[in-house]
């Protein structure tokens, strides 16, 4: 499969942006789901940050990095 189809970064980023949009809309409209949407935004941002940190470590060749985040060299 092409690398762009297996890259999770757009999905993680898109989900975080969707939660952020829902959080803003829920806060403005004073819906009861606002805390849940803000929690989703925070967890998405945290997850994206950890993913980026692990990917950077994998690209640098660190032994403690998660495996499979970087395609093997061709």
pLDDT tens digits, one per residue of 15-35: 999 999 999 999 999 999 999
- What's the pTM value of the predicted model, to 2 decimals? 0.77
Distance CA 54, CA 36 (A): 27
Domain membership of residue 69 (yes or no) is no
pLDDT at 36: 96
Q: How many structural domains is the chain composed of?
A: 1
Average pLDDT of 43-50? 95
Domain membership of residue 30 (yes or no) is yes
Domain membership of residue 67 (yes or no) is no
Domain membership of residue 50 (yes or no) is yes
Domain membership of residue 34 (yes or no) is yes
Domain membership of residue 31 (yes or no) is yes
């Amino acid at each position: 499969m092409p690398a762009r189809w297996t890259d999770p970064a757009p999905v993680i980023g898109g989900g975080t942006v969707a939660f952020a949009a829902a959080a803003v809309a829920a806060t403005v409209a004073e819906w009861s789901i606002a805390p849940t949407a803000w929690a989703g935004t925070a967890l998405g941002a945290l997850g994206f940050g950890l993913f980026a940190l692990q990917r950077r470590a994998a690209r640098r060749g660190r032994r403690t990095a998660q495996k499979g985040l970087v395609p093997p060299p061709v």
